[in-house]
Every structure is written in structure tokens, then in C-alpha cells.
Amino acid sequence: AQLADSRIRVQGTLQAAEFDSSTLEVIADHTFVYALKPAGSDVNAKASLFTVRRELQFRFDRDDLRMHQAQVVVSYVQAGPLACSEDSVTHLHPLLAGQTAKAGGPAGTDPYATGSATALCGSLATSSQPRV
């Protein structure tokens, strides 16, 4: 797949709070939406929306700041629509316009629902579908 539009849509939050008296905790929670089309396709190919939600939680203490490093505490990603039967260890395999997932995949996920981690791969929940 390749980008059908160079504009990537993003919505999210960045929060910082004192974890303890010497540690700062930063949480980045963002949802990205990419317009994709098949690799090598012409300009008129149908575009598909591919949604990726990523949450990263970091902690910094005085030593981390001095050493220019961060502690990654939590990192998770949700994405869809994906071909769940494909191995997503090295890269994601988006389903494009006209493609369907094989039956038997995980339950629906909503990448816009914040506050909890869910499976990387799953069909999009009804609550995450576009409304007109």
C-alpha cells in the first residue's frame, strides 16, 4: 500500500504529571488516519482509510535527563482495518478498498476509545465507523 494523500490526520493528547518527587511521567495518546491505495496504482484508484492508535508512556528522572534518555513504561498500538491472518510483527497489513478480512478474527475494536489497551488486530467496532 501507498499513501493516496500526503495529509495524515491526527488527533490526540500529550499529558505530563509528576509521578513522584523526582520523576516526570509523560503520556502520548494519538490516533492517526491515513488515506491508502494499492502500491503502484494510478491516481484514480479507490482510497481506503487506515486508522492507527498509539499510546506511549514515558518516565524521566534526573539521571535520565542528564543522560538524555527516557524510560518507556507502556507502548501499545491498535490499527485497522487489518488482515489479522497476516503476521504484524514487522509491519502492518492494511485491508484496502474491496478487500475483506477472513472470518474468525478478534472482536471489534474502536481506536477512538481511549483509556484501555485492546488487541492490535480486530474488526472495527460499529462505534468507530464513519457516520453521515
pLDDT of residue 42: 86
98 pLDDT higher than 90: no
Q: Are 23 and 43 in contact (CB under 8 A)?
A: no
Q: What is the pLDDT of residue 17?
A: 95
Strands 9-20 and 2-3: unpaired
pLDDT in tens, 27-42: 999 999 999 999 988 8
β-strands 9-20, 23-37: how paired?
A: antiparallel
Q: Report how far Cα 50 is from the mean position of its chain's Cα atoms.
A: 9
51/34 Cα distance (integer angstroms)? 6
The reported pTM is 0.73
